[in-house]
Amino acid sequence: MSDLRYDDQVAVVTGAGNGLGRSHAMFLASRGAKVVVNDLGGSVDGQGSSESAAQKVVDEIVSAGGTAVANFNNVASYEGAQSVIDTATDNYGRVDILVNNAGILRDKSFKNMSQENYQSVIDVHLLGTVWMCKAAWPVMYEVQNYGRIINTTSAASFGNYGQTNYSAAKAGISGFSKALAQEGLKHNIRTNILAPMARTRMTEDLMGAMAKDLHPELVTPVVGYCAHTDCSVNGEIFSAGGGRIGRIFWGVTPGIKKADITAEDMRDNLEQIMDPANYVIASSPTDEMAIMGLTKEL
């Protein structure tokens, strides 16, 4: 089988100055893509800015024989996101691949978390993803009739102590991406979701020794496949880390059904309601409505 390549394609990678984003950008460039390397250059908690991080990755790509240009805007605003896409279209004329990776951390227990810390994480992760997709959408949907979008969620969307802001943002990205996947499919735009586990600036203090073998390069293969024209999946969530790739999905149990169901029925049948046997993977509200007709009648 031949290598997956992206010759004559243009890729935009946000948060690409370090860690996962850098790995994604370097890989895509090494396989022929022209890459816009976006990074605000701030700290892990989103403070400050610098052009050095993004420019360093661009220089690495060019030195290796690739093609890249830097963008230093903040994706947390629509104007910033539009400037990233404009950098792609102004320099290369199109946007084939969008990898939304930019993020910050502001961890605290919910009791101690300020409104600013909550809003900042939502703005960068969730809204940053939304604004980047919104800016790229006219190019992919109306002009090219083609696109590949990879958005970044996290295992924190299962719930993680001290990360109500981050967990909310990452779960929101999954829901947003699944809806976007449905809207783009007829226009050959496929949207998939990456849940990475890797040692980066954001995670090394949290993971400690567990992060030893979690190299960012072992996550990038998910981006490599989902960014390719041959990608056959849409609206899926992939977990990746340490050389493992798996699927994350939302399942619904058959549960119970009763025309005049009561709170007491839930109490008395909780074990059956919770039983994951014979679960169904729902990809839309319509799927769950169909499941309702399959549940066991009490």
Residue identified by tokens 């949207």 is 191
Considering the candidates 92, 166, 225, 279, report the single residue annotated as catalytic.
166
CA distance 46 to 223: 24
166 is catalytic: yes
Residue identified by tokens 């999954």 is 174
Q: How far is CA 189 from CA 229, 233, 256, in A?
A: 10, 11, 38
How many CB atoms neighbour CB 249 within 10 A? Answer: 10
Q: What are phi and psi of 247, to 5 degrees?
A: -105, 135
- Token code pair at residue 285: 């509200």
Identify whether the C-beta of residue 215 lies closer than 8 Å to the C-beta of residue 208.
no
Identify whether the C-beta of residue 59 lies closer than 8 Å to the C-beta of residue 253.
no
Alpha-helical runs (H) found in the chain: 19-30, 52-63, 78-92, 115-121, 128-137, 164-184, 204-207, 220-226, 263-268, 270-274, 285-292
CA 237 to chain centre: 9
Angle between helices 19-30 and 52-63 (to 10 degrees): 30
Identify whether the C-beta of residue 40 lies closer than 8 Å to the C-beta of residue 74.
yes
Q: What amino acid positions are annotated as catalytic residues? A: 166
